[in-house]
Amino acid sequence: MSALAAAVRRRKTGGSLVWHFAALAVLAVVLYPAVWLIGGSFKPSDDVIGSLDLFPGDPITDNYTGLKEGIADVSIATFFGNSLYLAIGSVIGVLISSSLTAYAFARVRFAGRNIFFTLMIGTLLLPYHVLLIPQYVLFQKLGWINTYTPLLIGKYLAIDAFFVFLMVQFIRALPKELDEAARIDGCGHARIYLSIVLPLCRPALITSAIFTFINAWNDFLGPLLYLNEPQQYTVSLGLKMFVDQEGVANYGGMIAMSLVALLPVLAFFLIFQRFLIDGMATSGLKG
Amino acid sequence: MTSPSSLKSAGPAAAPAAAGPPDRRAPRPPGLRARRRRENLAGYLFMSPWLCGFLLLTAGPMAVSLYLAFTDFNLFDSPKWIGLDNFSEMFGDARWRKSVEVTLLYVVLGTPLKLAAALGVALLLAQKRRGQAFYRAAFYAPSLVGASVSVAIVWKAIFSDDGPVDRAQRGLFGVDVGGWIGDPDWVLYSLVVLTVWQFGAPMVIFLAGLKQVPQELYEAAEVDGAGPWRRFWNITLPILSPVMFFNVLLETIHSFQIFASAYIVGGGAGGNACGPADGSLVYTCYLYVQGFENSRMGLASAMAWMLLLAVGLVTAVLFWSQRRWVHYEGGVGSR
């Protein structure tokens, strides 16, 4: 009996060892680019590609101090300010418009609801590039090129169906008794939405907010199309301009700037990773 | 979240308080038709942001785009109707065919490899071990930053001449093919590696699906003498198939639309946005070049509609095929 238990335990520790070995191997591959990026940002430009060491023997901070000069006479802080403005504006828009729309789909019984819901789900699968040209033509006619409006307006009109869908799923899972009780008390939809559904939706709202922030921060195509003045550039565009103007000559600076550009996303991830991963997981399961 | 029991107790307690002002509930409840009209009004009001967005930014532009596909349009002069000329030009264009080839190769290689990695690692992480949550978070992180310009720059460096990958392949395998980035035949594979690196998002979805597999099934199968492979093939995969379907659908559609990483990774000096000898000329890159660099907006609209058709076709085939391999009986992932 004890021999059997010992064998089982031995088999378990053996399995555990293999498991940790495998997980660490995957981790090494996944983290390699990040470690390379961090190490490279402290190397002189010639060594970023040339040297094999992950971390330089004697690290320098010139790459970071050099960023103070900015890119093409625009300071890094300007790019960060622009990106922040866009990201926060996007978050506010998505939270308001998606939660209102989701409430309609999840809690109001109106004519045509199913048709509109199906259309909304359909836009989830629609390639954005079909809309690229006509939207550009529209915004150009409206005189919105070189403004942030084309990048923000869609967020205030619930164009990201993913977040509407996420919130619909979440609201549907809330107990109906709450609404019914509120209705008996004479509450209309506006009150139910504001004082019951919205507060209970907090997890879905947080997930949507973080994803929206990160997507807006990373967005490249939108700013590339609509922003032409370096003063208006987001961090992504500024980084691309850096590559085009200095390129290999200032490899160290480019690498340092790449890392700095990722910091807000990484910070969000470290703080909110549970919300992100859970939000991601539910989206797939209920699909 | 509030538990159902506390909700029930809140209901009756709150009711008398609200019943205080009698005039609110005294009038006869409005008729059914009036109530239905009020619901309709509320529904459309709440939905109005999305409905405006759908009409102005999705449906309307789609119709315009369809029209533009049959015109010659450079944004400043008014569109000229030219029938199917854009399409015949497109099909006759060697660069367009190259972009289709590049994109299909990217989709066909990248998506299955990424999903295989996602499933494999999800099976690994499904075992409850110490550090599981940490690994899950670490593996998910690339999905958040993978499409950024920063990561594209890192990729370009890692796969360049004398970069780490070049040195590794020389050191380990003795092959001297140079960096992948500068090689027309290899640059696309660096993008495939980049998408596989982002296996974390589908992995998280697989993990959530794996949690729903009833353990009794495994125990019963083990009693019946089914080995691990049989159990995986006959229990895990069928129960996971709805989640698999979701992942295949979304990842395939996303793959067709790769832009930023290809634009940066392939972009050399001198405005060549498409890699050496068009080696990483993905479809959307060529669409961007035609529409916004060459001001061929009609042609680009035609290209966009071909992309839509391709994605629509893939979606239709996937939905049609799901009868054969997706099992909804288990109740997991059912709509």
pLDDT tens per residue, range A201-260:
998 999 999 999 999 999 999 999 999 999 999 999 999 988 888 766 788 888 999 999
Chain B residue with CA closest to A22: the answer is B124
Domain C-terminal end among A23, A45, A64: A64
Q: Are residues A156 and A179 in the same domain?
A: yes
What pLDDT does A286 receive? Answer: 44
Q: Cβ contacts of residue B84 below 8 Å, gap of 6+?
A: B70
What pLDDT does B28 receive? Answer: 54
CB contact under 8 A, A134 and B155: no
Pairwise pLDDT comparison (A53 vs B107), residue with the higher score: B107
Q: Are residues A169 and A47 in the same domain?
A: no
Domain C-terminal end among A64, A84, A109: A64
CB contact under 8 A, A184 and B287: no
Q: Are residues A57 and A83 in the same domain?
A: no
Asked whether residue B321 is assigned to any structural domain, the reply reads yes
Cβ(B252)–Cβ(B314) below 8 Å: yes
Buried/exposed code over B133-142 (b: 16+ C-beta within 10 A; e: otherwise): eebbbbbbbb
pLDDT at B309 over 90: yes
CB contact under 8 A, A108 and B297: no
Q: Are residues A51 and A85 in the same domain?
A: no
Q: Are residues A138 and A261 in the same domain?
A: yes
Q: Which of B123, B140, B144, B326 should be substituted to probe chain A, the one whose Cβ sees the most A Cβ atoms within 10 Å?
A: B144
pTM tops 0.95, yes or no:
no
Query: How does pLDDT run across B212-267, given as a tens digit for each residue?
Result: 888 888 888 888 888 888 888 888 999 899 999 999 999 999 999 999 888 888 77
Q: How many domains does chain A have?
A: 2
Structural domain range at position B171:
87-325
Q: How many domains does chain B have?
A: 1
* Alpha-carbon distance A123 to nearest alpha carbon in chain B (angstroms): 8
Confidence of residue A2 (pLDDT cuts 50, 70, 90): low
* Alpha-carbon distance B68 to nearest alpha carbon in chain A (angstroms): 8
- Chain B residues whose CB is inside 8 A of the A11 CB are none
- Whole-angstrom CA distances from B148 to A239, A262, B268 are 10, 8, 17
A26 in contact with B, Cβ within 8 Å: yes
CB contact under 8 A, B292 and A225: yes
Q: Is the ipTM of this complex over 0.90?
A: no
Q: Are residues A93 and A50 in the same domain?
A: no
Asked whether residue B312 is assigned to any structural domain, the reply reads yes
A221 in contact with B, Cβ within 8 Å: yes
Asked whether residue B35 is assigned to any structural domain, the reply reads no
Q: Are residues A187 and A282 in the same domain?
A: yes
Q: Are residues A84 and A55 in the same domain?
A: no
**Main-chain dihedrals φ then ψ at residue A74, nearest 5 degrees:** -110, 130
Asked whether residue B110 is assigned to any structural domain, the reply reads yes
CB contact under 8 A, B149 and A184: no
Q: Are residues A28 and A147 in the same domain?
A: no
Asked whether residue B72 is assigned to any structural domain, the reply reads no
Handedness of CA B182, B186, B188, B189 (dihedral sign): negative
* Alpha-carbon distance A2 to nearest alpha carbon in chain B (angstroms): 23
Domain C-terminal end among A64, A81, A110: A64
Assign residue B300 the CATH number of its domain.
Answer: 1.10.3720.10
CB contact under 8 A, A261 and B136: no
CB contact under 8 A, B140 and A273: yes
Q: Are residues A47 and A98 in the same domain?
A: no
Query: How does pLDDT run across B162-190, given as a tens digit for each residue?
Result: 888 888 888 888 777 778 888 888 889 99
Residue B218 one-letter amino acid:
Y
Structural domain range at position A269:
72-286
Measure CA B203 to chain center. 13
What pLDDT does B11 receive? Answer: 36
Q: Are residues A171 and A88 in the same domain?
A: yes
CB contact under 8 A, B243 and A123: no
Asked whether residue B105 is assigned to any structural domain, the reply reads yes
Q: Are residues A125 and A233 in the same domain?
A: yes
What pLDDT does B333 receive? Answer: 42
